[in-house]
Structure 1
Amino acid sequence: MIRPATPLDAAAIAAIYNAAVRETTAIWNTTEVDAADRADWIAARAASGLPVLVFEAAGAVLGYATYGPFRPQDGFCATVEHSVYLAAEARGAGRGAALMAALIAHARGAGVHVMVAAIDASNAPSMRLHERLGFAQVGVMPQVGQKFGRWLDLALLQLVLDERPQP
């Protein structure tokens, strides 16, 4: 089941986030968060009209997805950047695609024109997921990040959500 996150999901979201911080280059942060931080984050996103969706199965939150402003300038108001994360045991079973489909539908309903993904260029599973969903790679920024003692390349992908000829 995919549904909006509530404060009761904060601990599970923090656990998924922290595992990505510790074990992957999907998140280029090194600082972990706690449930209180994620509860505040969920509340702040809701207050701004931004979604946080969770994938729940058998009462457990297995993943989450969200989007927010791509850049702060007014000219980017119809473009968002998104994030999608799954617990390690939940990967490879279509849950990420299901979360993304729900997030894309939400964005379309909110009048978003373009959704951007910024992905570690070596993250082949995430790159494949996004390409299967129709995202097109539009650039790679070599060595703009670092984690685990190495430089990371950032791949930028985008999905145009509607065919409006003008904003």
Structure 2
Amino acid sequence: MSLTLRDATLADLSAITEIYRESVLNGVATYEITPPSEAEMRSRFETIISNGYPYVVALDGSGVIVGYAYASAFRTRTAYRFLVEDSIYLAPDARGKGAGKALLAHLVERCTELGFRQMVAVIGGAHPASIAVHRSAGFEHQGTMKATGFKHGRWLDTAIMQLALGDGQASDPPEDVYPDSLYRG
């Protein structure tokens, strides 16, 4: 599949909302049960980009958005400010064709450039394809939380994977990279 990756814009929110809607209704990557409105997706998008995190879309050869990904705060406590969580969602027709791998590689590169030191994947349903994509990018399995979600009439496990970015823990991070106002306590 021929792909183009670029920063997401407000004009992309209709396609992003539809991709997420399908994942909420039919998948286990998210534990949301009711798809959020486009207005809610806009609010989430604006929060992520206003805090300086990358949010990107993947377009197929005809210019149709087939997936999106973003990095965001894992937790809002100050000590977590060098750790990001990735999220990737794909249209059904784009799954298994390299779009997720391309989006993840792009996020890893961007977050490394931004000075983050660790990236974590919280994989709903311990989905094997998502685990494989993250493993191919160098993520290591850190654990599985059993029966953490109940969706589609069944209990779901959550896999946790992690990747060191840049120097990782080999050196102290610069203290002035992320404003404390972004975090609590």
Shorter-chain TM-score bucket reads over 0.9
Equivalent residues, number: 167
Match of 1:29 in 2: 32
Q: Which runs of 5+ in 1 are unaligned?
A: none
Match of 1:166 in 2: 172
Deviation string for 1:101-142 (max 9, x for gaps)?
111111001101000001135411111111011000011111
Matching residue within 24, 29, 44 for 1:41: 44
Give the Cα–Cα distance (whole angstroms) in 1 for the partners of residues 115 and 154 of structure 2: 38
Deviation beyond 4 Å, 4+ runs, structure 1: none
Match of 2:124 in 1: 120
Match of 1:54 in 2: 57
Residue pairs, 1:114-153, within 5 angstroms = 114-153=118-157
The RMSD of aligned alpha carbons is 1.2
Matching residue within 101, 104, 107 for 1:103: 107
Give the Cα–Cα distance (whole angstroms) in 1 for the partners of residues 159 and 25 of structure 2: 21
Give the Cα–Cα distance (whole angstroms) in 1 for the partners of residues 160 and 143 of structure 2: 5
**Deviation of residue 45 (structure 1)?**
1.8
Match of 1:20 in 2: 23
Deviation string for 1:28-52 (max 9, x for gaps)?
0011123232233222222111221
8 Å Cα contact 2:29/2:125 also seen in 1: no
**Deviation of residue 145 (structure 1)?**
1.5
Higher mean alpha-carbon deviation, 3-12 vs 39-48, is at 39-48
**Deviation of residue 143 (structure 1)?**
1.1
Q: 1:12 aligns to what SS in structure 2?
A: helix
Give the Cα–Cα distance (whole angstroms) in 2 for the partners of residues 114 and 152 of structure 1: 25
Tell me the amino acid that sits aligned with residue 127 of structure 1: I
**Deviation of residue 61 (structure 1)?**
0.6
Work out the percentage of aligned pairs sharing the same amino acid.
35
Q: Which runs of 5+ in 2 are unaligned?
A: 174-185
Tell me the amino acid that sits aligned with residue 165 of structure 1: S
Match of 2:159 in 1: 155
8 Å Cα contact 1:135/1:159 also seen in 2: yes
Higher mean alpha-carbon deviation, 117-126 vs 60-69, is at 117-126
TM-score by length of 1: 0.95
8 Å Cα contact 2:150/2:156 also seen in 1: yes
TM-score by length of 2: 0.86
8 Å Cα contact 1:114/1:158 also seen in 2: yes
